[in-house]
Amino acid sequence: MKIAVYGQYYKENTDEIIEKMMVVFGQYNPEVVFEYNFYNVLCERNILKESYPTFTDHEELNNGFNLFISIGGDGTMLRAATFVRNKNIPIVGINAGRLGFLATVQQENIENLLPLIFENKYKISPRSLLTLHYPGGTDQLEDLDFALNEITVSRRDTTSMITVEVKLNGDHLTSYWADGLILSTPTGSTGYSLSCGGPLLMPEVNSLVITPIAPHNLNARPLVIPDDTEIELRVSSREEQHLVSLDSRIIRLDVETVITVKKANFKINLVEFAEEKFLDTLRKKLLWGEDKRN
């Protein structure tokens, strides 16, 4: 088995995570390749006991890789998706951050869950992505025109609201007066969209969510739409530009630019263990069922 490892260094727990992971690797002897920058950090801190090959970008990840391990929080998982892209390499997230809806393997469970990879005792959870198109889109986006969580339009350099005109499959929906608008996948429904009042979606649902950010009209509610819908946006503002974010990547666009958002033609495959199902994660992270009276 050939495994790519990428991560962010957290001084509180990365040393122990790497130590536990390498113990498991020692039992099954996979071929391990580290992301170059992460590998250098680990070497500087003398965490690794021997040398390993490295990779620097997505082009070096070929079909010979069987697994991609992300060490960090959900933000690290989103960056991991930019390495894997359409290569169908399963991603497993070891949580070194706080919440961890995507990075579901907790530090204390590494020795129990990672061996299940080598024993083929896991399932794949395919996750839909959104892709963005606009005139001249290659200038800022290059080939990173997709998002696993959400695509968001928002105001820039102003305290005034923006107006976001929305069309669905060419038909006019409405014009939102708001601080911005979130277009979320089911994966992203536990993130920014949720904090703005959007609904939770199961990962298997073939839907998207349109969630306004602080809308001027209180009757502007989140809307769930089929994921084969083509969404057209056009932003008006007092400023000359507005912001567009694809997960954590931000670009600036001129107002009145027509933006087209639709489901990408590939998916990201996340590893899911029976011990860490999505419903289990919801209960744990959102404290469902917790009652201080008990």
- Spans of all domains in the chain: 2-128+267-285, 130-263
Cβ 215 vs Cβ 176: under 8 Å: yes
Fold of 2-128+267-285: Rossmann fold (3.40.50)
Whether the pLDDT of residue 88 is over 80: the answer is yes
What's CA 262's distance to the chain center, in Å?
16
Percent of residues, the chain, with pLDDT higher than 90: 76
Cβ 4 vs Cβ 55: under 8 Å: yes
Reading the block at residue 156, the tokens are: 């820039």
By CB neighbour count within 10 A (0-12 exposed, 13-18 middle, 19+ buried), where does 15 fall? Answer: middle
Residue 191 has what pLDDT?
92
- Beta-carbon contacts of residue 120 (< 8 Å; ≥ 6 apart): none
Query: What mean pLDDT do residues 272-294 have?
Result: 81
- Give the H/E segment covering residue 290: none
- Using DSSP's 3-state secondary structure scheme, residue 267 falls into coil
Give the pTM. 0.91
Rounded to whole angstroms, the Cα distance separating 102 from 270 reads 8
Reading the block at residue 68, the tokens are: 């991609």
208-248 tens-digit pLDDT = 999 999 999 889 999 999 999 999 999 999 999 999 999 98
131-140 tens-digit pLDDT = 999 987 656 6
Beta bridge partners of 161: none
Strands 241-246 and 249-254: antiparallel
DSSP 132: E
DSSP 248: T
Residue 143 has what pLDDT?
77
Residue 139 among the catalytic residues: no
Rounded to whole angstroms, the Cα distance separating 229 from 184 reads 13
CA angle 144, 146, 150 (to 5 degrees): 130
Tell me the pLDDT band of 290, cut-offs 50, 70 and 90: confident
CA angle 215, 217, 220 (to 5 degrees): 70
- Give the H/E segment covering residue 284: helix 278-285
Residue 49 has what pLDDT?
85
Q: Which amino acid is at 66?
A: N
**What is the CATH architecture of 130-263?**
Sandwich (2.60)
Cβ 186 vs Cβ 207: under 8 Å: yes
Cβ 162 vs Cβ 185: under 8 Å: no
Tell me the pLDDT band of 280, cut-offs 50, 70 and 90: confident
174-202 tens-digit pLDDT = 999 999 999 999 999 999 999 999 999 99
Tell me the pLDDT band of 250, cut-offs 50, 70 and 90: very high
Q: Which amino acid is at 131?
A: T
Do you know the residue count of the chain?
294
Rounded to whole angstroms, the Cα distance separating 283 from 222 reads 23
Percent of residues, the chain, with pLDDT higher than 70: 97
**Mean pLDDT across the chain, nearest whole number?**
92
Q: Which of 15, 57, 74, 143 is catalytic?
A: 74
